[in-house]
């Protein structure tokens, strides 16, 4: 594989461009905002989403999708979950059957409740049947761009595709493990953001490490129940894309979803919090889809339910914690 197109120039897309550029002869990074794309081309720094990290010289930056999608071997999409469908609809005229598709977006599509790989397939199948993989795991963009050691998972039901992406993407600071369990990897990467909002609520309320440890553990149980009900494997949720990403997002200061929870516990309104953020906190949108998926599959997800109540119905964080603690007693 010689060429890579990265669709999405936020912090994660930019970090992936930095870490993957040495693995490809040519990398193109598509940034939605033309003004930002021009600045990045001139300065080699994404001053809006990942300042102070230089983008390698072999990364061509553009805001033109046709240019970005000129004969890449791999198309790596890193746009927010609610934009995956409209962006792929725009991309469709420029896509070719020879391209390999990788999704690095963690989230679920509201309304359809589809995982990102399914959204991509649904759109691209209007032209041809695509080969799709997903990558997920415990990854803060700033640390990836700093070339700190990072491990994650590439999942696809096409084993040859997963192995090919593993080989193409892995390097001295970026290690990929393969998985055939796309469902488990994508559900883990989605639901962990919902639980992380809860972890932020606990932090904002000053409730200490006991409460956070309990939330992480029971959040993992929720993620696992849902993934298994949808056809995923429980072992996947015990790995990097499940427990690993959950711990990072629930405890790391760089977690956007955790910070949403902290601000909610301080009494700020959700609209004000989200409006003040440059980047998307995927857990806010995913909570609705997760609640609907739980109902569809008959899965008990009390943490997700209480996060939905806080985000959409305005119940106070303290009341949500009380409801979780006084639920009927049961075995672990």
Closest CA to 82 of 8, 174, 22: 8
Reported as type and span, the H/E element at residue 100 is strand 100-103
Among 192, 266, 285, 330, the active-site one is 192
Residue where one domain finishes, among candidates 116, 148, 180: 180
Q: Determine whether 192 is an active site residue.
A: yes
Helical ranges in the chain per DSSP H: 11-20, 34-43, 65-68, 84-91, 116-124, 141-145, 159-169, 182-205, 208-229, 234-237, 245-251, 256-265, 270-275, 282-297, 302-313, 317-325
Residue 185 is encoded by which pair of tokens?
């990897």
At 1 the pLDDT is: 85
Low-confidence ranges of the chain (pLDDT < 50): none
Q: Is 330 within a domain?
A: no
Instruction: Please say whether the beta carbons of 311 and 270 come within 8 A.
Output: yes
Residue 135 is encoded by which pair of tokens?
């990558």
Helical ranges in 125-229 per DSSP H: 141-145, 159-169, 182-205, 208-229
Residue where one domain finishes, among candidates 180, 206, 236: 180
Q: Residues with Cβ < 8 Å from 152, sequence gap 6 or more?
A: 135, 136, 137, 138, 139, 174, 175, 176, 177, 240, 241
Rounded Cα distance, 143 and 126, in Å: 38
Whether 11 and 125 share a structural domain = yes
Torsion angles phi and psi, residue 123, rounded to 5:
-75, -50
Whether 41 and 168 share a structural domain = yes
Provide the terminal-to-terminal Cα distance of the chain, rounded to the nearest Å.
47
Rounded Cα distance, 143 and 288, in Å: 30
Q: Is 331 within a domain?
A: no
Whether 31 and 162 share a structural domain = yes
CATH number at residue 270: 1.10.1040.10
| Residue whose structure tokens are 């990074």 | 29
Quote the pTM value.
0.95
Q: Is 85 within a domain?
A: yes
Whether 52 and 152 share a structural domain = yes
Rounded Cα distance, 226 and 294, in Å: 7
Q: Is 291 within a domain?
A: yes
Whether 130 and 65 share a structural domain = yes
At 147 the pLDDT is: 97
CA dihedral of residues 44, 47, 52, 53 (deg, nearest 10) = -50
Q: Is 51 within a domain?
A: yes
Whether 232 and 101 share a structural domain = no
Q: Is 185 within a domain?
A: no
CATH number at residue 153: 3.40.50.720
Whether 126 and 208 share a structural domain = no
| Residue whose structure tokens are 């959040």 | 219
Q: Is 19 within a domain?
A: yes
Whether 57 and 119 share a structural domain = yes
pLDDT tens-digit series, residues 139-180 = 999 999 999 999 999 999 999 999 999 999 999 999 999 999
Whether 96 and 196 share a structural domain = no
At 52 the pLDDT is: 85
Residue where one domain finishes, among candidates 132, 151, 180: 180
Length of the chain: 332
| Residue whose structure tokens are 């806010």 | 284
Sign of CA dihedral 168, 15, 125, 97: negative
Counting the structural domains of the chain, the total is 2
Whether 162 and 216 share a structural domain = no
Range of the domain at 34: 3-180
At 279 the pLDDT is: 73
At 275 the pLDDT is: 85
pLDDT tens-digit series, residues 235-278 = 999 999 999 999 999 999 999 999 999 999 999 998 889 888 87
Q: Is 269 within a domain?
A: yes
Rounded Cα distance, 25 and 98, in Å: 18
In terms of C-beta density within 10 A (0-12 exposed, 13-18 middle, 19 or more buried), how is residue 169 classed?
buried
Whether 160 and 268 share a structural domain = no
At 284 the pLDDT is: 87
What distances in angstroms separate CA 25 from CA 56, 148, 168, 170, 249, one per listed residue?
11, 22, 12, 15, 33
At 306 the pLDDT is: 97
What distances in angstroms separate CA 189 from CA 37, 104, 184, one per listed residue?
28, 10, 8
Whether 318 and 252 share a structural domain = yes
């Amino acid at each position: 594989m010689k060429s890579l197109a990265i669709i999405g120039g936020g912090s994660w897309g930019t970090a992936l461009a930095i870490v993957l550029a040495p693995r490809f002869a040519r990398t193109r990074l598509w940034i939605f905002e033309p003004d930002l794309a021009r600045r990045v081309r001139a300065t080699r720094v994404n001053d809006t989403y990942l300042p102070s990290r230089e983008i390698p010289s072999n990364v061509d930056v553009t805001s033109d999708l046709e240019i970005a999608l000129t004969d890449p071997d791999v198309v790596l999409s890193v746009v927010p979950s609610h934009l995956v469908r409209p962006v792929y609809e725009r991309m469709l005229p420029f896509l070719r059957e020879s391209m390999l598709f990788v999704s690095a977006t963690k989230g679920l599509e509201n309304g359809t409740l589809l995982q990102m790989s399914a959204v991509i397939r649904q759109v691209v199948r209007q032209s041809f049947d695509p080969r799709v993989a997903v990558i997920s795991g415990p990854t803060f963009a700033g640390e990836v761009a700093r070339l700190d050691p990072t491990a994650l998972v590439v999942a696809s039901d096409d084993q040859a595709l997963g192995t090919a992406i593993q080989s193409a993407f892995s390097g001295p600071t970026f290690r990929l493990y393969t998985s055939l369990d796309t469902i488990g990897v994508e559900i883990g990467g989605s639901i962990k953001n919902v639980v992380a909002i809860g972890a932020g609520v606990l932090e904002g309320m000053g409730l200490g490490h006991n409460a956070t440890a309990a939330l992480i553990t029971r959040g993992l149980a929720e993620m696992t129940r849902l993934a298994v009900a949808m056809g995923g494997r429980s072992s996947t949720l015990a790995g990097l894309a499940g427990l690993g990403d959950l711990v990072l997002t629930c405890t790391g200061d760089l977690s956007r979803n955790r910070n949403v929870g902290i601000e909610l516990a301080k009494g700020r309104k959700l609209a004000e919090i989200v409006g003040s953020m440059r980047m998307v906190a995927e857990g806010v949108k995913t909570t609705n889809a997760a609640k609907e998926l739980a109902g569809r599959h008959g899965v008990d997800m009390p943490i997700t339910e209480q996060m939905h109540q806080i985000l959409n119905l305005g119940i106070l964080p303290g009341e949500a914690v009380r409801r979780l603690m006084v639920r009927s007693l049961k075995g672990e």
